[in-house]
Amino acid sequence: MVSRTLDIPRAEFAFLSPCHVALGDKEIPDEVIHLAAGLQFSGFKSVVSTLWEVDEAVAKHSVEVFYKSVFHPKEESVMDCTKATWALNCATHAVKTQALLEQRMIFVHSGM
């Protein structure tokens, strides 16, 4: 058996916008591993993911606001992952009047 190690240099952040990536499997309800948790387990410090089905328009607007908020204002190519929770809050507020409550709280942040 060959042992492989996953080498993800500087694996700090992942944004998963597909539907249901922060949910486990109905067949094994006691299992807490899902895609978002798997990324954290493999070394990502911060993961944003979805709990249920995503409305495309809401997701698009939320993601745009999120990324505008998480990048360093003076250096557009420098991402500050420590601002992920704050940026997700900004994204949620940006769609406040445009989306139903269930779509405003679809994204969750795990990690630092």
Tens-digit pLDDT profile for residues 55-77: 888 888 888 888 888 886 666 67
d(CA 36, CA 110): 8
Q: Which helix (H) or strand (E) holds 110?
A: strand 107-111
Taking only Cα atoms into account, the Rg of the chain, rounded to an integer number of angstroms, comes to: 15
State phi, psi for 21 to the nearest 5 degrees. -80, -10
Q: Is the entire prediction scored with pTM above 0.95?
A: no
User: Residues in the chain with pLDDT < 70?
Assistant: 1-9, 24-26, 28-32, 72-76
* Spatial CB neighbours of 3, under 8 Å, sequence gap ≥ 6: none
Instruction: Please check whether residue 46 is in contact with residue 12, taking contact to mean a CB–CB distance below 8 angstroms.
Output: yes
